[in-house]
């Protein structure tokens, strides 16, 4: 069995339950760069920046 199939089987049987905060998404300007998630799964904005607009 490959890893993806095994993970699907574990999720379907509720043997493992992913933590909901890892499913967070951000809506906003697509020009934001340098945005990463920290070890707790929250977005870390300290190194985020906006790319300059195209001329």
pLDDT digits (tens, 9 = 90+) for 26-51: 666 677 788 777 777 777 778 788 88
pTM assigned to the model: 0.37
Strand pairing partners for 36? 44
Of 15, 20, 10, 11, nearest to 40 by C-alpha is 20
Residue 5 pLDDT level (bands cut at 50, 70, 90): very high
Which two three-digit tokens encode residue 15?
């043997």
Tracing tokens 């499913």 back to the chain, one arrives at 23
14: phi > 0 → left, psi -120 to 50 → alpha, else beta; which? left
Q: Is the dihedral of CA 27, 33, 38, 44 positive or negative?
A: negative
The pLDDT value recorded for residue 25 is: 63
Residue 26 confidence (pLDDT):
64
């Amino acid at each position: 069995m490959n890893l993806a199939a095994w993970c699907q089987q574990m999720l379907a049987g509720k043997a493992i339950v992913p933590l909901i905060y890892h499913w967070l998404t951000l809506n906003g300007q697509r020009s934001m760069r340098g945005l990463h998630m920290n070890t707790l799964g929250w977005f870390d904005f300290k190194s985020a920046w906006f790319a300059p607009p195209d001329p």
